Amino acid sequence: MNNNDHYDIDIRIRIKIDDIVTYGSGISELLQKTDQMGSINKAAKSIGMNYKKALNIIKRAESKLGKQLIEKSIGGTEGGGSKLTPFGRSFVYQFNAMEKEVKEYALKLMKKYF
């Protein structure tokens, strides 16, 4: 196979802790959208996920990582909302950077071998 320009590769990166998937591209997208939209519920809906599932995914990741990813404020005159914690923002950035680098390297390897 000489002409591999039309080939692509699909790599999923998942961080596992105690053999449990703790973090991956799905939660990364959910967290980024939560930060952008100011709401876990709105973010979940935007990616076709229900709120309860989104909340459970975030809680599981926070529990396994031992750190808070999302800061929630309840009600009040501003209506409450959610945003990334400094740790959450850093974790999302680092994961996305690592995922991009892994995908680029995997694509290079695919082109080398195919």
Provide mean pLDDT across the span 86-92.
98
pLDDT at res. 74: 81
Is residue 40 classed exposed, middle or buried when 0-12, 13-18 and 19+ CB atoms within 10 A define those classes? Answer: buried
pLDDT: is 70 or 11 the higher one?
Answer: 70
Q: Which segment of 22-26, 43-47, 91-95, 106-110 scores lowest on mean pLDDT? A: 106-110
Distance separating alpha carbons of residues 74 and 15, to the nearest angstrom: 30
pLDDT: is 75 or 103 the higher one?
Answer: 103
Rg for the chain (alpha carbons), in Å?
A: 17
Query: What are the residues facing 72 on neighbouring strands?
Result: 82
The pTM assigned to this predicted structure is 0.86
pLDDT in tens, 46-71: 999 999 999 999 999 999 999 999 99
| CA distances in angstroms from 53 to 6, 48, 67, listed in the order given | 36, 11, 19
